[in-house]
């Protein structure tokens, strides 16, 4: 059994790491310490940030697209609310499966190979979905597109985090979430324009296929994560990447050593299960908190993102106005990400996340109660979009920092998978059962209580990670 990690000034206690680097000459830094102490340069770490962020943008675009497709296909194909919910559910369940599969794959074969495959699969099956006219095939293709895209978030966050210097890591990982409102807002505004002009639901789907394919080819020029190469024992490749980063950033050249690492293990279905077991052995507290936070907060956010246009249309708003308001909700989130990036290194992760997660969830309660009051709806929609986009990037940063390199992709991937399951299955229960039974406002009260419970668990069970150095291995 791997004992619970003990936290000491943001670092895991050496007693929990049998191979801790206390035996190396104290004057020589390790390769990962070199990477994490380099100055930030846009031509080096910034390039990874932009390319990884573009993939994240398409993830947001695709999830937001469900909110556009649900009301349009309900009307065109005569679907009930329960049937229409499968459009988003299939896509998000595919993302859930893809999140843990690609996260584990990335921990085995590398960040670069994994993330180049995710967008290619997404693009092909999105195109297939746009060309079908049958709800059964459409749901299947949305599932498969989601499976491909589901790997973007865990793989991109692992890659960007491992290239980013320690001093800027919290800010950069938080800023990564700025790509989400860009993608979600682009989907809302562009879809509103296309549907108003041509009235065809296929055009918003086709609009993102070619850019996604372009990003796929650009991603081929991103180097592999040096921390992953170190963890795999591929010293020659790791040194080549590190030395090139030192050269490009203009940092002082220093002699460094490589830490001892475990033997690489082959990727099998059994190894995926073993990786999940290792997450719980590493720390049941951390994994419980990560899953609870992802499940509750992302359930609230995805319900709003995918069903707010439908709720607004049913409340009497025009279709194009509903799409524009949802796009505005996403767009104002970009300001929330900026605020999160500014605050995350000042306040730390835990209290900022707890406050914004709870406030955002109760803003939806108020919005649902005042949905028939036009003057209140837009301010509440914008307030929710702002506050929730302070919470989500802090959540992503926090969870990605709590696991060591060998578990970072799979740890984040499994937590992301839990959120996609919640976002996929949750709306089926929420829309088809809870709302008819207790009404929209009380249904959001229930989800808000879940968020509060998850935040209480975090405050008591999980550590603060501000300023913590990323570890290559805990073995």
Q: Residues 106, 87: contact at Cβ < 8 Å? A: no
Q: Is the pLDDT of residue 196 over 50?
A: yes
CATH architecture assignment, domain 28-252+274-461: Up-down Bundle (1.20)
Q: Indicate the range of 18-22, 75-79, 317-321 predicted with least confidence.
A: 18-22
Q: Is the pTM of this model over 0.75?
A: no
Confidence of residue 12 (pLDDT cuts 50, 70, 90): very low
Confidence of residue 168 (pLDDT cuts 50, 70, 90): confident
Structural tokens at position 274: 């073993």
Q: Residues 125, 144: contact at Cβ < 8 Å? A: yes
Query: pLDDT tens across 119-162, in order?
Result: 788 888 988 998 888 888 999 999 999 898 877 777 777 788 88
Confidence of residue 265 (pLDDT cuts 50, 70, 90): low
Structural tokens at position 149: 């895209």
For 164-224, where are the alpha helices, taking DSSP H only? 166-176, 179-198, 202-206, 209-219
Residue 374's Cβ-count burial label (10 Å; 0-12, 13-18, 19+) is exposed
The pLDDT score that the predictor gives to residue 31 is 86
CA dist 272 and 103 (Å) reads 10
In degrees, to the nearest 5, what angle opens at C-alpha 467 toward C-alphas 226 and 280? 70
- DSSP label of 151: T
Distance between the two ends of the chain, CA-based, in angstroms?
11
Choose between 342 and 55: higher pLDDT: 342
CA dist 101 and 414 (Å) reads 8
The pLDDT score that the predictor gives to residue 3 is 38
Query: pLDDT tens across 34-50, in order?
Result: 998 999 999 899 988 98
The beta strand positions in 348-433, using DSSP E, are none
Q: Residues 126, 149: contact at Cβ < 8 Å? A: no
């Amino acid at each position: 059994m791997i004992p619970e990690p003990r936290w000491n000034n943001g670092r895991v206690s050496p007693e929990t790491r049998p191979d801790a680097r206390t035996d190396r000459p104290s004057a020589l830094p390790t390769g990962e310490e070199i990477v994490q102490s380099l100055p930030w340069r846009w031509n080096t770490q910034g390039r990874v940030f932009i390319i990884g962020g573009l993939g994240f943008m398409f993830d947001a675009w695709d999830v937001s697209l469900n909110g556009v497709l649900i009301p349009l296909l309900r009307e065109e194909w005569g679907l009930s609310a329960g049937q229409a919910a499968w459009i988003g559910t299939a896509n998000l369940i595919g993302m859930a499966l893809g999140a843990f599969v690609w996260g584990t794959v990335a921990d085995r074969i590398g960040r670069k190979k994994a993330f180049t495959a995710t967008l290619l699969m997404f693009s092909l099956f999105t195109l297939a979905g746009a060309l079908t006219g049958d709800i059964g095939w459409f749901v299947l293709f949305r599932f498969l597109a989601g499976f491909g895209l589901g790997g973007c978030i865990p793989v991109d966050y692992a890659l960007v985090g491992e290239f980013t210097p320690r001093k800027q890591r919290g800010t950069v990982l938080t800023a990564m979430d700025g790509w989400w409102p860009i993608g979600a807002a682009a989907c809302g505004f562009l879809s509103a324009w296309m549907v108003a002009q041509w009235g065809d639901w296929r055009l918003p789907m086709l609009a993102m296929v070619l850019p996604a394919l372009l990003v796929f080819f650009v991603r081929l020029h991103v180097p592999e994560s040096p921390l992953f190469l170190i963890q795999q024992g591929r010293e020659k490749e790791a040194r080549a990447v590190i030395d090139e980063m030192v050269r490009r950033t203009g940092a002082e050249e220093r002699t460094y050593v490589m830490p001892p690492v475990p033997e690489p293990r082959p990727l099998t279905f059994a190894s995926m299960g073993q990786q999940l077991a290792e997450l719980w052995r590493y720390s049941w507290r951390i994994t419980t908190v990560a899953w609870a936070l992802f499940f509750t907060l992302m359930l609230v956010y995805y319900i709003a993102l995918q069903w707010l246009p439908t709720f607004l249309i049913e409340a009497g708003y025009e279709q194009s106005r509903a799409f524009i308001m949802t796009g505005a909700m996403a767009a104002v989130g970009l300001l929330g990400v900026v605020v999160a990036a500014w605050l995350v290194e000042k306040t730390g992760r835990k209290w900022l996340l707890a406050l914004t997660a709870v406030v955002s969830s109760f803003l939806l309660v108020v919005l649902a109660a005042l949905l028939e009051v036009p003057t209140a709806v837009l301010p509440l929609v914008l307030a929710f979009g702002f506050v929730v986009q302070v919470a989500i990037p802090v959540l992503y940063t926090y969870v990605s920092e709590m696991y060591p390199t060998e578990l970072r992709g799979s740890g984040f991937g499994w937590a992301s998978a839990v959120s996609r399951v919640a976002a996929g299955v949750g709306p089926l229960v929420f829309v088809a059962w809870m709302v008819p039974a207790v009404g929209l406002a009380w249904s959001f009260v229930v989800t808000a209580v879940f968020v509060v419970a998850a935040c209480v668990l975090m405050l008591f069970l999980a550590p603060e990670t501000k300023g913590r150095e990323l570890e290559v291995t805990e073995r």
